[in-house]
Structure 1
Amino acid sequence: MQFRGLKNSILLVIISVFFINCEGVPIEYLENDEILSFEIKDLETGEALTEALGDGENQIQLIANISEKADPKYRTITFETSGGQFISNGGKSIDKKVDVSGQSSVILEVPLSKDRIYLSAKIKNEAYNIINEKFIDLLEFENIIKLEILGSSGNELTQEVVADGSSIITLRAIVEVDMDEFQNVTFKKSKGEFLGVDSNQSIKPIDQDGIAEIQFEVPIESGRVYFSAEIGNNDNQYIVEQFVDLQKAFPNELLIESNSTSITKSNPIDLTVYTLRDNGKASDGIVVNFKAYQTFEDDTLSIGRFTNRANATTSNGVVSGVKFYIDTNDYNPDLDIVIEAYSEGSGQAEVSDSVKIDIIE
């Protein structure tokens, strides 16, 4: 009977101690998950997150709960992140006390990145290291920077761009994220000239609207021109590319010149053709054709021969190096020779010019 009474007394003491310690169970008697829970949630919807858009502006919520079973002295949580920054202090670590329900939360602004970031919530106490860790995968933000090709006044291009050596187009870079590290845009090109810049690249500041612009003078070489706009550095660099196809700028007029107004069998004449436009120059590579003839009554007869005619294309608006000979003996010495140069012109109309040459026997 004495043992039975003793046994009942011991049981009563154990039950009493249990109920007393439910108000603050020593932390060493609880598992980590029982002590500290940790969640990552969407700031607007409250849904649990395992990934988020890494655009440098997106915000997520970190929520930690300390179990009510834990001793009341454990009421401060340290939140830490490997990337981004906490809104309230701009750092990667912050201490927050829990509320009466044992909960604490912070808002994290994710970095501009496509990497995984690691997050943790830790009970701040020197004696114990109670920590709960998670990670979140960042999705790449594809529209960090855009590049537009516009008209000389920043207007939308409504017609084709011709390679006339004088037309101006505007490159506009639009940075879609607001980050202190992005202060400038580096513009690059494959050919042509940036206005006022003697280099293949130029650095322009980003204004308060996230825009940087530069003007480009087209070359006289038709074909595709490539552009790029870059922001950031080697560790965090973003590049966008664009191109424009330059069409041939055909002449509005031709002007043919010869080095002499007369010709003999033994001395050919040199011919030069200038391609003229109302604006700028004709593009390189415009084909200029030649023909020589004499007219008698209503008949037109081709005579003589040309050399280097196969290579008669414009270079910087000029065709040169073509020679004309009359050593073919197919001419009438009593008639002038007409040498004509002709080419496709602007608007697909043919343009031409001619010069008369005397024959000296």
Structure 2
Amino acid sequence: MSKKYGAYICQGCGIGESLDIDKLSEKASDEGFAVKTCPALCGKDGLAILKQDVAGGVNALVIAACSPRVLYDAFRFDGCIVERVNLREQVVWSHPRATWPAPTEEQKDDETFIDHVQMMAADYLQMGLAKIKKVELPAPYKLETLSRKILVIGGGITGISAALDAAKTGYEVTIVEKEPALGGNAAKWRKQLPTEYPFEKSTAPVIQTKIKELGNFSNIQVKTSTVVARIAGQPGDFTVTFKQPGEKIEFDVPFPLPPEMKVDESGKELEAEKLHARYLEYNQGRQDILTFDPNGEKFGAVVLAAGWRPYQPQEGEYAHLGFGASPDVVTNAQFEAIAAAGKIKRPSDGKEAKSVVFIQSP
């Protein structure tokens, strides 16, 4: 990139009153920069100066004004390198002249006198001038091969919805579902929350409608009874290995050693070489994690919609509520199954329940 430099020093927000702008301009000019000052660079006139110079070919701008954390969009110019020098917060506001007085006329003629505030501003400006000479615009990384296929992991309501949206925009989509049928937990619902006004009553689940809709798209492929064994690569160029649930293949992801295999008989942690040897033995038959599957399928993006599992309380976890002791104390998933069968009947005796208590556990 051939650079054309410009340095712009703002005088607003107390900068002009606290600092010698002419000396700062001289420093930038000595470094070969075309220098311009303005009462307020963020104002209409100041921005007009910047835009005019950019249009004239300036593509490396040092803007000595306020913090780079503010007015980011105002001082951003496409195709240009912009270095912000913070004279306002880091110099003028943090070192007010009430505490750090400006030099008197007599002190200005004294070569031994140091105006620390002015020196700080000059140092920050010098660093900005030096930095922009070293910085280059980043070159965008472009993949040699870019896949436009999308993999959706999970064939529940979320995965199917994502697949349909992607297919409608023209992408090729593959849905992977470990179960023999699509739907996930949504297929077990009796009702679902309303999605349309007036949002007053539960509605029939839409999952079956969405499953049928998949058949309208030739660019959607469905793989049931299938799981992902390994994903390798990067966005735009993923290599994915599929397998059947429970199947063991060479491209299964290697497992880390369990804690008990990281120590010797005395409980002392193994040395690195022995750990590595034991790791290889533990993962015998599996390819190294950095090895790509030559027969893997290519995808450009992966949508993870693996769903959720109903919570299963541990034995005795909710004993104080009667769970585990009384068959009539159930989880929300168990209650949904009872409700889906018709009337709400007690598991203990099959009689219709007269009342139901819901307990929301934190």
Which TM-score applies when normalising by structure 2?
A: 0.19
Of Structure 1 and Structure 2, the greater helix share is in: 2
Where relative contact order (Cα < 8 A, 6+ residues apart) is larger, the structure is: 2
Larger Rg: 1
